[in-house]
Structure 1
Amino acid sequence: MELMAEGLGMQDTGVFRGMVHRDGSDELLRVNHYPPSLRPEAVGGGSTGFGEHTDPQIMSLLRSNSIPGLQIALQDGSWLPVPPDTESIFVNVGDAMQVLTNGRYRSVRHRVVAEAGEEVRSRLSMIYFGGPAPVERIVPVAGVMGPLEPKLYKSFTWEEYMTAAYKTNLATCRLEPFLLLQLGAEESPKDASELLLNAATAPQ
């Protein structure tokens, strides 16, 4: 988290780490077991082991065995398999980090597909989720943003976010209720700032 803050040019590189290290922070370590699919039609294609979603937290760290199954969504809507690597830790940006960085880091949509077949073994993964305390206010960090850059998200507490998230389907974009300004797939926060400034200064 400190390296991510440093990469953004922030003077306070401990701001993200501090949210996870405070008393009452929403940290979780989970082990997932995905047995081979029993559906005959899954042979060669797989079936859903865990549906598409983004992680809510600031960051999640994943370690798995040598069995594939993890896939990430690309901008064109296609799914890219992530080869398993027992020597690596996969870092996922969560929804909270997307808000804190005003869209500079994007939470990655992903899913797990369970393969089928006589030779297929179970996939095991261990995931650490680093989230803030329920009372922590999630808002774009001032140290990230430029002087004329608009905030893309309104302020909310982690508890407010999770309460809203539990009322939605897994695949729903759970940040949508908190959006102030839509950020397109090809836009950067700088682009959005210029669009807003142009609109404000345009002749009426």
Structure 2
Amino acid sequence: MVWDTAASTPVASLGTAYASETRSYSSARGISFHGAAGRTYKLRVSGTTNTPFRLQVARGPVNDMLATAAEVPARPVRRDPWVSDDVDNTRAGAEPSEPTPSDYGMWWTYTPTTSGNLRVEVLAPADGLNYTRYRKLYAYRTTSTDVTATGAYIARDQYTGDYDPIINVAVVAGQTYKIKMTTAAGQFGRYRMKFTQF
């Protein structure tokens, strides 16, 4: 469990946990939360058995938050796709009030220089290893960096067992679009993103 609190806050005054997660030993993954520079966070680990453990703290992906969405370069040439390097959403978390589903989500931002249709696809990593297929894609038309102000999504698709998710969005030159990729609970892993404007 994690509390966002002042360093001197007594235990009795901690209140509701900022983030928490309960897992069995066999499915232990950890907990993800968004921390702010200069703030103090209290962490508590508890269990029903006297089992030794190690505590590891690691940063999540840079584009885990809408405000730090990875920028996709504009593609003014037709059928000139941009493919990202391998990315890993294992340590991605959920922002407070992030649109559902929020677990393991990562963000991209795209502002086209010409109008047309944008296709977004999720690809296997370059080596094809540690690849999860249970992914969902969402597109929003917004310039906001506030995750509570994205409005309703304008396109979505998700893996159903027969194909990888693909979304097609009619885009207008100069407008900004936010793309979110998320996976089902426990289905985190590595992948690449492909953006093609027609």
* The two structures share one fold, judged by TM-score above 0.5: no
Please state which structure has a larger fraction of its residues in strand.
2
Compute the TM-score of the two structures, normalised by the length of structure 1.
Answer: 0.31
